[in-house]
Amino acid sequence: MPINKRSDLKTESINKNSINIDSMSTYDILQTINNEDIKIPKIVGGSLDKIEALVDICVKAIKNGKRIFYVGSGTSGRLGVLDASEMPPTFKVPNHLFTGIIAGGDRALKSSIEGAEDIGVNAIKDLKKNKLKSGDVVIGISASGAAKYVVSAIEFANKCDAKTAYIICNEEPFFKTNQDVLINIQTGEEVITGSTRMKAGTATKLVLNMISTTVMIKLGKVYKNFMVDLKVVNKKLKDRGIRIIKEITKSSEDEAGKALSRANNSVKCAIIMIEKSCSYSEACQKLLESDGFLDKVI
């Protein structure tokens, strides 16, 4: 069915399961929300082929020295910024590799910037400021597909010969555009009519987690299911790094800790140093020759 009015969007429609939520007991409200949330992972699962296509595009782009941009407004924008900001400490990648851009700028992360999503030209300014180049990937995120800011970003990216994707939570976006991949997660009616920070937000978080994590796995940032490229920036991550080294090399905590120190806090190099009885510089060289894939070395 063509989307002619915002009221035609499923995310703006009335959910019959929560129509009387204001008269429910606290427990029943919670159960109603939970019952709707439970549906989301299965719905996301129906789009794995599209998510796979986007992951492959991102992996190829990064291998070619390009970058990934998440562009959104409101909740969608905040989730993009969140996912991008977690990449450096989790996988020790450069800060610019994943960039989250939100309509209204950093102030919009904490406060609602009225009308920011409706100003398309600002998306072009923001992408220019971040030096978008040919071959980069721009992932527009909009639950309703009704944010001109997001559509403008995708259209500008197309003109720059960047790869593009559009993540929405309806069958079709309110504002259509051309993109390489359309990921339409049909989350349906919200518990509170139109409140896409709920089911649509949950779906968006799941999809972004899947994209970025799978990209990192395919680039050798994970060995088995260990984050062997984590960035040791605090006591928690140092402790995790030591435990990862211990588990993979079957060494003692003391040996793992000393190896991590000698390896300049590189978990991968510490593992290679123990497994191959080599120096830090030799471990770095072995890692370089294996394109960063630990399994190719050990």
Q: Which of 36, 117, 155, 275 is catalytic?
A: 117
On average, the pLDDT of the chain sits at 95
Calpha distance 103→153 (Å, rounded): 10
**Do 78 and 40 belong together in one domain?**
yes
Calpha distance 298→296 (Å, rounded): 6
**Do 272 and 149 belong together in one domain?**
no
For tokens 């800790």, name the residue: 257
The CATH number for 271's domain is 1.10.8.1080
Has residue 229 been placed in a domain? no
**Do 140 and 250 belong together in one domain?**
no
The token duo for 218 is 């395919």
Q: Flag whether pLDDT at 1 surpasses 60.
A: no
Residues of the chain with pLDDT > 70, as a percent, come to 99
Has residue 200 been placed in a domain? yes
Give the model's pLDDT for residue 4.
Answer: 66
Residue 6 confidence class, pLDDT cut points 50, 70, 90: confident
Q: Is this structure's pTM higher than 0.85?
A: yes
The CATH number for 29's domain is 3.40.50.10490
The token duo for 11 is 């995310």
Express each pLDDT in 250-293 by its tens digit: 999 999 999 999 999 999 999 999 999 999 999 999 999 999 99
Has residue 224 been placed in a domain? no
**Do 117 and 197 belong together in one domain?**
yes
Residue 282 belongs to domain spanning: 235-297
Give the model's pLDDT for residue 43.
Answer: 97
- Residues near 217 by beta carbon (within 8 Å), at least 6 away in sequence: none
**Do 291 and 249 belong together in one domain?**
yes
Residue 186 confidence class, pLDDT cut points 50, 70, 90: very high
Q: Which of 12, 36, 52, 86 is catalytic?
A: 86
Give the closest residue to 216 by CA, choosing from 110, 87, 101: 87
Q: State mean pLDDT over 226-245.
A: 94
Express each pLDDT in 85-108 by its tens digit: 999 999 999 999 999 999 999 999
Has residue 226 been placed in a domain? no
Q: Is-catalytic flag, 172?
A: no
Q: Which long-range contacts (CB under 8 A, 24 or more apart) does 1-6 make?
A: 2/172, 3/170, 3/172, 3/173, 3/174, 6/144, 6/146, 6/174
Q: State mean pLDDT over 32-39.
A: 98
**Do 116 and 243 belong together in one domain?**
no
Q: Is-catalytic flag, 189?
A: no
Has residue 54 been placed in a domain? yes
Quote the number of domains for the chain.
2
Q: Flag whether pLDDT at 61 surpasses 90.
A: yes
**Do 191 and 244 belong together in one domain?**
no
Q: Flag whether pLDDT at 73 surpasses 80.
A: yes
Calpha distance 282→56 (Å, rounded): 32
**Do 79 and 210 belong together in one domain?**
yes
**Do 207 and 275 belong together in one domain?**
no
Has residue 225 been placed in a domain? no
Give the closest residue to 118 by CA, choosing from 131, 104, 108: 104
